[in-house]
Amino acid sequence: MTQSTIRALFWDIGGVLLSNGWDRDQRREVVTHFGLDAEDFQERHKMIVPELEIGRLSLDDYLTQTVFHQARDFSRADFVAAMEAQSVALPGTLELARELGEKWRMYALNNESRELNAFRRHAFDLDGPLLAFFSSCYLGLAKPNPAIYRTALDLAGVTGVQAVMVDDRLQNVEAARSVGMHAVQVTSAEQLRSALAALGVQ
């Protein structure tokens, strides 16, 4: 495959460029920190998190239903700060993305709530390597629904064979391939570098 075959790279964020934003481990850490009833929180979370991730529920409304449905001895700002503090960079893959961003058209294609997505974009300067964010909260669609990949391809003006999806979750990789995209499941920065090089992305 020649280098010119690929015209765009699409990156997941959580588990690829950064730690997950509000996944199981992050929720457990914050819930434990504030001494919440973990089972009650999880049941409430499950009911509404899809609406949060596709942008039909604000973070404030999410917190009202999952945490602040009763009086607490901490504030919403305290809780949001603890949520945000869970995010850390994954240096190897983030540095690779910054390097590739100097030569390639690259976009985010991720599932995340609007407020957390905005925080992570700015806190880790993701607008540097990534030209646009085709995020679930903006598109109203979430991976692994094939429609979100087709929409991202349309918005980027490329076909599946001209695009590579980089993700850490096998189901998302499989969904990307189902619409004709090349896709790489990330296990390490070096593995990703080699896999992309095999596709002509170096």
- CA-CA distance, 22 to 87, in Å (whole number)? 9
Look-up of token digits 């990703």: 192
* pLDDT at site 12: 98
Domain covering 3-20+89-198: architecture: 3-Layer(aba) Sandwich (3.40)
Q: How far apart are CA 6 and CA 125, in angstroms?
A: 25
HEC assignment per residue over 10-50:
EECCECCCECCCCCHHHHHHHHHHCCCCHHHHHHHHHHHHH
Predicted confidence at residue 4, as pLDDT, reads: 55
| Residue range(s) of every CATH 1.10.150.240 domain in the chain | 24-85
Max distance between CA atoms of the chain, in angstroms, equals 60
Cα distances (angstroms) measured from residue 87 to each of 110, 145, 146, 179: 15, 25, 27, 31
pTM, 2 dp: 0.95
Q: Which CATH number is 24-85 given? A: 1.10.150.240
Pinpoint the residues of the chain covered by CATH 3.40.50.1000.
3-20+89-198
**Helix intervals (H) in 12-145:** 24-33, 38-53, 59-66, 76-85, 91-101, 114-123, 136-139
Per-position pLDDT tens, the chain of length 202 = 444 599 999 999 999 999 999 999 999 999 999 999 999 999 999 999 999 999 999 999 999 999 999 999 999 999 999 999 999 999 999 999 999 999 999 999 999 999 999 999 999 999 999 999 999 999 999 999 999 999 999 999 999 999 999 999 999 999 999 999 999 999 999 999 999 999 999 9
The CB density around residue 179, as the number of other CB atoms within 10 Å, is 18
